[in-house]
């Protein structure tokens, strides 16, 4: 079967920095794929290229076999940074994608209303972003991406600003939305347990240059209860993935420390000489 999303030999440079090199991935329709990897390995860059917000230096992105180069309503994007418009209310932010794409109707408005309720923002329609907590703003972001009902959802650390409890609730809600909506999801996270909990497959990226290090298939039956996170099998997956990226993470921490002028980090002496 033709993959829903195919990434072929993708590469991206920023000046001297080879951010991504030779990325090849095929994602099936209705698959839930998570991407993990150390800070700076190119996760956001990869998602932005797929979204059509950034151009690659080589390779291509195919959706249903057709090349994509620009944003489209077939892909919904939830940004890592808060991207709400401060002068628009919660409601006006939630429907902006519909407005831009000329899709405002009774039906889409009702659907958006149900999404705001789903993410726990019922009654906040007239609030402005400045009146919300970081977690609430991120939930508006999520509702906004879902409002367009895109078949492919691209999510860049969508739950990172949420407290632990809200995050777990959103993880289960995310799985429910995914299952009921037959969506294909590409989801970046820093939390390895979140990746294992959500994903059919976890793509582990390495850095310098950003490349696929390993693809881990998560063979844990669905539906997954939250208590699956305490099972040995689950913990084995988390440990395995953590080991894959541990060295890369250590390198990036040391590098950041060195940039800050040379400090002792993670028990390592870092000198600038």
Ligand X SMILES: Nc1ncnc2c1ncn2[C@@H]1O[C@H](COP(=O)(O)OP(=O)(O)OP(=O)(O)O)[C@@H](O)[C@H]1O
Interacting residue with ligand X among 41, 162, 170, 174 (CB under 6 A):
41
Q: Are 97 and 148 in contact (CB under 8 A)?
A: yes
**What is the residue whose two structure tokens read 């906040």?**
124
Q: Check binding of 45 to ligand X (CB under 6 A).
A: yes
Q: Is 44 in the site for Mg ion (CB under 5 A)?
A: yes
Q: Which is nearer to ligand X, 24 or 39 (CB)?
A: 39
Q: Does 195 bind ligand X (CB under 6 A)?
A: no
Q: Note whether 252 binds Mg ion by CB under 5 A.
A: no
> Does 89 participate in binding ligand X (rule CB under 6 A)?
no
Closest CA to 159 of 70, 102, 52, 79: 79
| Spatial distance between the Cα atoms of 206 and 245, rounded to a whole number of angstroms | 7
Residues 51 to 90: which contact Mg ion by CB under 5 A? 80
What is the CA 18 to chain-centroid distance, rounded? Answer: 21
Contact by Cβ (8 Å): 20, 12: yes
Q: With binding defined as CB under 6 A, does residue 42 bind ligand X? A: yes
Copy the structure tokens of residue 4.
């829903």
DSSP H helices, 21-86, are 43-51
Please pick, from the candidates 43, 75, 139, 144, the single residue that binds ligand X as defined by CB under 6 A: 43
- Least gap, CB of 40 to ligand X (angstroms): 4
Query: Which residues in the 1-30 window bind ligand X by CB under 6 A?
Result: 14, 17, 19
Q: Can you tell me the distance from the alpha carbon of 131 to that of 154, in angstroms, rounded to the nearest whole number?
A: 27
Is residue 44 a contact residue for ligand X (CB under 6 A)?
yes
CB nearer to ligand X: give 19 or 142.
Answer: 19
Half-sphere exposure of 82 (CA within 13 A, CB side): 17
List interacting residues with ligand X (CB under 6 A). Answer: 14, 17, 19, 37, 39-45, 80
List interacting residues with Mg ion (CB under 5 A). Answer: 43-44, 80
């Amino acid at each position: 079967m033709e993959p829903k999303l195919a990434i072929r030999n993708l590469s991206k440079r920023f000046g001297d920095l080879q951010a991504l090199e030779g990325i090849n991935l095929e994602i099936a329709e209705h698959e839930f794929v998570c991407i993990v990897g150390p800070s700076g390995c190119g996760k956001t860059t990869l998602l932005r290229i797929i979204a059509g917000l950034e151009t690659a230096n080589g390779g291509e992105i195919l959706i249903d076999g057709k090349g994509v180069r620009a944003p489209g309503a077939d892909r919904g994007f939830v940004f890592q940074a808060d991207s709400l418009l401060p002068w628009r209310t919660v409601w006006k932010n939630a429907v902006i994608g519909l407005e831009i794409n000329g899709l405002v109707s009774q039906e889409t408005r009702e659907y958006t209303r149900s999404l705001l309720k789903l993410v726990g923002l019922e009654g906040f329609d007239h609030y402005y972003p400045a009146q919300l907590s970081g977690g609430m703003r991120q939930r508006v972001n999520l509702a906004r991406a879902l409002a367009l009902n895109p078949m492919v959802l691209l999510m860049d650390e969508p739950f990172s600003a949420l407290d632990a409890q809200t995050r777990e609730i959103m993880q289960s809600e995310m799985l429910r939305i995914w299952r009921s909506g037959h969506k294909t999801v590409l989801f970046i996270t820093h939390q390895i347990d979140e990746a294992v909990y959500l994903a059919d497959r976890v793509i582990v990226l390495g850095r310098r240059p950003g490349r696929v290090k390993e693809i881990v298939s998560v063979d844990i039956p669905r539906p997954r209860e939250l208590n699956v996170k305490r099972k040995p099998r689950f913990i084995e997956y988390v440990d395995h993935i953590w080991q894959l990226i541990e060295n890369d993470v250590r390198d990036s921490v040391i590098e950041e420390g060195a940039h800050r002028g040379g400090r002792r980090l993670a028990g390592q002496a870092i000198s600038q000489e």
